[in-house]
Amino acid sequence: MSDATITLADISNVNESTVSEIRYVHQSATLPVYSAPVGSGKTDRLVLLNDGADGLRPDLSATITFP
């Protein structure tokens, strides 16, 4: 089990803004699956952060798909 946070931010402008953020606590998978719409002509940043304790951090992986 692990704890993780996924954050999507719009970094198109000088003032970065968080579009969405979801936290998974004691999960073996990111369920529900994270999904967020992004617009064309913008620059977005997706961050997957392992929030687990230092000694208990399992490897995290992500698959990013575009339609």
How do residues 3-62 score in pLDDT, each as one tens digit? 888 999 999 988 999 999 988 888 777 666 788 888 888 899 999 888 877 666 667 777
- Give me the number of domains the chain comprises: 1
pLDDT value at position 9?
93
Residue 65 forms part of a structural domain: no
Residue 18 forms part of a structural domain: yes
Q: Whole domain around residue 23: which residue ranges?
A: 2-52
Residue 26 forms part of a structural domain: yes
pLDDT value at position 52?
76
Residue 67 forms part of a structural domain: no
Report the predicted TM-score, pTM, of the whole model to 2 decimal places. Answer: 0.76
pLDDT value at position 30?
67
Q: Is the predicted pLDDT of residue 66 greater than 90, yes or no?
A: no
Residue 57 forms part of a structural domain: no
| CA gap 61, 2 in Å, rounded | 12
Q: How far is CA 38 from CA 8, 10, 48, 53, in A?
A: 9, 9, 17, 32
